[in-house]
Amino acid sequence: MSDGEVSVHPTASVHPRAQLDSGVKIGPYVVIGEDVTILENTAIDAHVCITGKTEVGKGCRFSPFSSIGGEPQDLSYKGEETNIKIGNNNTFREFLTVHRGTGNGRGKTVIGDDNYFMAYSHVAHDCVVGDKTVFLHGATIGGHVDVDDFSQVGALSGVHQFCRIGKYAFIGGNTVITQDVLPFCRVAGARPTLLYGLNAIGLRRQGFSRERIKTLKDMFKIVFYSELNTAQAVERIEKEFPPGEDRDEILCFLRNSKRGIVKKSSEKWDEDWV
């Protein structure tokens, strides 16, 4: 536990029933609502608004004019009590928005640990964001979207509601996502969104070995180039590859995809991988 005192600027408006742990710093003209809980050593810069039933973890940072805990932008919402849960060591940059869940959805919006949200990015109602993701400037995810660990959403990209972004996936800038993105993939483009193969550079940066990347590449060939449908590709991967973290991640994702996956590939991907 930190021994630091809570610091609140005299111009801030903090509800007396809000819970602030030790080491929390509240800057000028900040608004903190009644049902907000902020854990140790989180720093909130000027003009930030945190409202609703919102829990913020330890060591987070909020830049000016970010807004957390607002009502969901969903016409079905009728004022039900829903919430937001934010983990530890997240960075929220300027003009970012995160909305709480809906009564007809999960009832909550969840953000894990160690994520970096750049300016103007948006996390809509009922979303679940994992750990160590990066949202670049203006990245927007619609309601009920899942963004898994270590993935990156490119600048000015939009993700359709109910889509899922798999682990270690990379979405290029200005991309429109209307289907699920398989773990470890690179995709980019606006209608149609194109597959650019394995996110090899990102995986190497995360410490993936050449052998591990090659195995992923071989599984991808079955999914994207074998002319098998998804169910057949799943069956073949099960037969040809032993159980393991990456194989199981891909198979689980394919089995649970509700919107289908991005499969149309770019010509460059075809040339490099077929």
Task: State the Cα–Cα distance between residues 104 and 119, nearest whole angstrom.
Answer: 29
Task: State the Cα–Cα distance between residues 258 and 225, nearest whole angstrom.
Answer: 21
Please list the active-site residues: 125-126, 143
Distance from chain centroid for Cα 166:
10
Residue among 175, 181, 163, 167 nearest 126 (CA): 163
Structure tokens at 85: 């849960």
Q: Taking a C-beta distance cutoff of 8 angstroms, is the pair 133, 150 a contact?
A: yes
Which H/E stretch holds residue 188? Answer: strand 185-188
- If DSSP codes are grouped into helix, strand and coil, which group holds residue 272? helix
Task: State the Cα–Cα distance between residues 158 and 120, nearest whole angstrom.
Answer: 12
Structure tokens at 168: 């270690």
Q: What is the 3-state secondary structure (H, E, C) of 197-261?
A: EECHHHHHHCCCCHHHHHHHHHHHHHHHHCCCCHHHHHHHHHHHCCCCHHHHHHHHHHHHCCCCE
